[in-house]
Structure formats: structure tokens, C-alpha cells
């Protein structure tokens, strides 16, 4: 397979450029001094431009054609056939984007990050507005590259994160979620009113000890992973053996723990992709929706579960005796699942989280379609927060400036968080059928059965198949079904609060 090997070697070099950019981006968020932002933007733009030009070059197309002939006899699900098939799709899409536009988007996103950090610190949306406008203008130019190929403008951006998914389908899924989840949330929040959260204090150094122990139980490997502090948690890396996850800590609550578990879920997905897919376009998670299904699974289905706290609460109480005084594992489990509409998405409870995402999904469509001026974005954000969650937003730091995504140019990403909740519940149903003693293993502190199942049934596949094909291979259907998630939430809240 000479042509195939040549294609794989070229794609490996392109992957190296992307991996190098990922580490530079991680460094910008975690370690880089603030005044390095301007030169870092140029470095990232250069790497992005080089990778894009090398990928869309005619030579890549020639190698794809030659490799396709050489793998004709390979099964559809082979690494070889999958690499040619998936790369062809990526190549045809990337060929529509001018290299200078790719560089401009990368450069502007890098420049916008420190502006956003400062604007968020001072709650000054107007200071961030020009950078956001530049990002949005570039994304609209990107959308124009696909004129006539999608049903609506937002489809172009959504497809980057959830290949094959369309905006109309997401609307349909989210309408179902709103219809069934919103009234359930209201009833649960009323029932939970008056629950007093533990006051702390939560010493940060002690939190780091506890959270690292949890991450290690899930699968964190110090020889292949890092855990660092940042403003807004994320996960990235440069391959299956170089996983970088980040978190943040608070002194007045333990919310950072759930962020750490969330990012560990992302890291496990990348860590358990088949080694045969390393340094290829197949060597990562199939989509952001699937990625979020993994992070939300470890954060919520595991980390907010009763078996998890039956195991870990004694250790938490040992580390934080005053903060946990008066609690046992059951009362702690209940307080960790308090339903209370809140301002910040990444700190939202499991029941209200999807409403935060639906808000952003609707705003992003309005931004791309031009039906809202960016100057009016804070007011519209605040209006929807009141409509969906009944909360008044006190300032922009707790409102429109809370997320890093728009600073990084990631418009179209947000829906994948809620899609991940839905996918995760479908996958969880299959896991419970396959591992009937899952609860007992969690209570014993053994998370290997879950990790191993996910590795062998989902993670190992990487990007070999479309998200729909991947879902069918894992759960037996190619369609995202919101019903298992709503049923899971109804059962859990029914147990906790007697609501249905």
C-alpha cells in the first residue's frame, strides 16, 4: 500500500502541526505571561496556515485518489478504508476555505482571549465587543464559503463540531427537552428551596489533593496526563499519551470538583482512542457531542451519583472535617444534587444545565443570522435567563462574558453540550444492561469496569465513523433520542424530591 502509506505520512505531519498548536494554545491559557498574547497569536496563525495549506494542497487530493484505489479491498470498518473516507470528507470541506481566512480566524481568536479575560474580570462587555465583532465577522465569511451547500447558515458551524447534524434537528431535540425538562426543573427547584449548601471553608490545596485522587480513580495517569489551573476549564493535548486537562478552584464551594471530573471524561476519551489511529485525522473523538457525552457522564451520571459518594464521602470528610460536619454520604449526595437555577453554566446543577445551553444556541443563531446586534447581546442574554431560569443577571461577568467560547471563535459549539447529555443517557442505558453490578463497583471505588467498557465500545473507534454510525455501533440506533435522558432525570428527581 505505497500510496496509502504516503498519505498517512503526510497526514501525520499535518497532525503534528495541529498538535503543536494545541500545546501553544494550552500554554496561553495556563502558563503564558499576559504580554505574550500578540506574538502567540502570530505563532498560532502560522501553524494553522501551514497545516491548512498542506492539507488542502492538490498533492493531498492526489494521494487520496491513489490511496482509495489501494484500499478498495479493505472492509468498510478497517482503519485504512476509514482513513481515506473520513479524510476525503475533511479535505473537500477544507478546500472551500482560503488559507488566509483560516489564519485570520486563528489569529483573531488568540488575540481575543486575553481581552475577554480582562473584560470578564472587570465585567466590561463593551471592552470585549470589538474583539467579538471581529470574530463574528470572520465566522460569517467562513459561512459564505459554503453558500448553497447547507439549509441554513448555522448548519455550517454546527457541522464543524457535530458532523452531519443540522440546526433543524437540534431545534426539534431541544424543543422536546424544554417541553419535558423545564416543568420538571421548576417542580424540583420548588421542592429543593431552602436547602442550605455546606459553607466550607474549602482550602484550595486540600481540594487539589481530593480532586486528583478522584481523577486517578477514574483513570488519570501521571505519566500521560497533566492537571492545571485556568480561568475556564478545558481539555486538550497532543496525542493519546499527552493529555492536558484544566480546572479551577473556589474557597466558598466545591464546584471545581465537578469541572475536574468533567475534563477527566474528555481526557479519557482521547487517552483510549486506538493506538493505530495516532497521528491521523481519526485519532480523536468523533464529535463534540460524543465528547460531551463522556465528560457529562463522568461528571453527572458517575460523580453526582449515590454510589460515588458512598465511596468518596468518607475521604472528603477526612480532608474537610468542619465543612462536612453533620453530613453523611446520603445527605451529602442529596445536597450535591440540589436543583437551584443559577447564573453560571459550568456550575449549574444537572437538571438546569440544558436550559443554559438552549439559551446560547438561540443567541448564536441570532448572531449568525444578523437578527440581533452584538451591542444588544447582554440585554437579550439577561432576558432569556429570566425567561428560562427565573434569574436576574447582576453583571456581564456573570452573564454574557462567562464563557470563553466566543472569544475563541467557537460559535456552533454550545449545542454539543446538551446533545452530549442526550447521547450520554442513551449510552448509559446500554452500559447498565451490559454491566449489572456497576453500582457495587462504584461503591467499592472501582471505576475500571466503566472505563474499560467505554474504551472498548466507543473510545477505541476514534473518528473512524460518522457520529450517527458511531451511535448505532454503540447503542444500536443512529438517531439521538432525548427520551432516555428525560426518563433518567425524572427518575432521579423523583427519588430526591418526589416530583415527576
- Residues that are catalytic: 263
Strand order in the sheet with 225-229: 225-229, 242-247, 235-239
Residue the block writes with cell 448505532: 472
Nearest of 194, 309, 214 to residue 256 by alpha carbon: 214
Task: Give 412-475 as a DSSP string.
Answer: T-THHHHHHHHHHHHHHHHHHHH-TTHHHHHHTT--HHHHHHHHHHTGGGTTSS-HHHHHHHHH
Would you give the DSSP letter of residue 447?
-
Cβ atoms within 10 Å, residue 201: 12
Would you give the DSSP letter of residue 464?
S
Strands 235-239 and 225-229: unpaired
List phi, psi (to 5°) of 239: 140, 175
Dist CA 333 CA 335 (whole Å)? 6
Dist CA 249 CA 204 (whole Å)? 6
Dist CA 465 CA 444 (whole Å)? 35
Strand partners, 289: none
Amino acid at each position: 500500500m505505497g500510496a496509502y502509506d504516503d498519505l498517512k505520512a503526510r497526514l501525520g505531519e499535518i497532525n503534528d502541526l495541529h498538535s503543536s498548536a494545541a500545546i501553544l494554545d494550552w500554554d496561553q491559557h495556563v502558563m503564558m505571561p499576559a504580554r505574550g498574547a500578540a506574538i502567540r497569536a502570530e505563532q498560532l496563525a502560522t501553524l494553522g496556515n501551514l497545516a491548512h495549506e498542506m492539507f488542502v494542497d492538490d498533492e493531498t487530493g492526489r494521494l487520496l485518489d491513489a490511496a482509495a484505489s489501494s484500499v478498495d479491498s479493505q472492509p468498510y470498518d478497517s482503519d485504512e478504508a476509514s482513513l481515506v473516507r473520513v479524510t476525503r470528507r475533511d479535505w473537500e470541506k477544507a478546500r472551500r476555505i482560503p488559507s488566509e481566512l483560516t489564519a485570520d480566524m486563528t489569529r483573531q481568536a488568540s488575540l481575543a482571549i486575553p481581552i475577554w479575560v480582562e473584560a470578564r474580570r472587570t465585567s466590561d462587555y463593551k471592552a470585549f465587543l470589538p474583539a467579538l465583532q471581529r470574530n463574528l465577522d470572520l465566522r460569517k465569511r467562513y459561512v459564505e464559503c459554503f453558500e448553497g451547500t447547507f439549509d441554513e447558515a448555522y448548519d455550517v458551524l454546527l457541522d464543524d463540531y457535530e458532523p452531519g447534524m443540522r440546526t433543524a434537528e437540534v431545534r426539534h431535540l431541544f424543543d422536546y427537552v424544554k417541553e419535558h425538562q423545564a416543568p420538571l426543573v421548576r417542580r424540583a427547584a420548588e421542592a429543593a428551596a431552602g436547602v442550605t449548601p455546606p459553607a466550607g471553608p474549602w482550602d484550595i490545596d486540600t481540594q487539589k489533593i481530593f480532586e486528583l485522587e478522584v481523577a486517578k480513580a477514574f483513570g488519570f495517569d501521571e505519566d500521560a496526563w497533566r492537571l492545571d489551573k485556568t480561568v475556564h476549564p478545558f481539555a486538550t493535548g497532543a496525542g493519546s499519551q499527552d493529555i492536558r486537562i484544566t480546572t479551577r478552584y473556589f474557597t466558598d464551594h466545591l464546584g471545581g470538583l465537578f469541572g475536574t471530573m468533567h475534563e477527566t471524561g474528555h481526557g479519557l476519551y482521547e487517552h483510549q482512542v486506538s493506538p493505530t489511529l495516532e497521528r491521523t485525522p481519526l485519532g480523536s473523538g468523533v464529535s463534540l457531542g460524543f465528547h460531551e457525552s463522556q465528560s457529562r457522564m463522568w461528571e453527572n451520571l458517575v460523580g453526582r451519583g449515590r454510589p460515588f459518594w458512598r465511596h468518596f464521602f468518607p475521604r472528603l470528610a477526612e480532608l474537610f472535617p468542619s465543612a462536612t460536619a453533620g453530613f453523611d454520604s446520603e445527605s451529602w449526595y442529596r445536597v450535591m444534587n440540589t436543583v437551584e437555577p443559577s447564573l453560571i453554566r459550568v456550575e449549574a446543577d444537572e437538571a438546569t444545565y440544558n436550559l443554559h445551553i438552549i439559551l446560547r444556541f438561540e443567541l448564536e443563531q441570532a448572531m449568525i443570522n444578523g437578527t440581533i446586534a452584538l451591542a444588544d447581546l447582554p440585554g437579550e442574554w439577561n432576558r432569556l435567563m429570566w425567561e428560562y431560569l427565573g434569574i436576574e443577571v447582576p453583571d456581564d461577568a456573570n452573564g454574557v462574558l462567562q464563557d470563553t467560547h466566543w472569544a475563541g471563535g467557537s460559535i456552533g459549539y454550545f449545542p454539543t453540550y446538551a446533545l452530549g447529555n442526550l447521547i450520554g443517557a442513551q449510552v448509559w442505558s446500554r452500559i447498565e444492561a451490559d454491566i449489572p453490578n456497576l453500582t457495587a463497583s462504584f461503591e467499592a471505588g472501582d471505576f475500571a469496569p466503566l472505563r474499560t467498557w467505554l474504551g472498548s465500545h466507543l473510545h477505541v473507534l476514534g473518528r473512524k465513523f460518522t457520529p450517527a454510525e458511531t451511535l448505532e455501533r454503540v447503542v444500536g440506533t443512529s438517531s439521538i433520542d432525548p427520551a432516555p435522558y428525560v426518563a433518567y432525570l425524572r427518575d432521579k428527581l423523583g427519588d430526591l424530591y418526589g416530583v415527576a
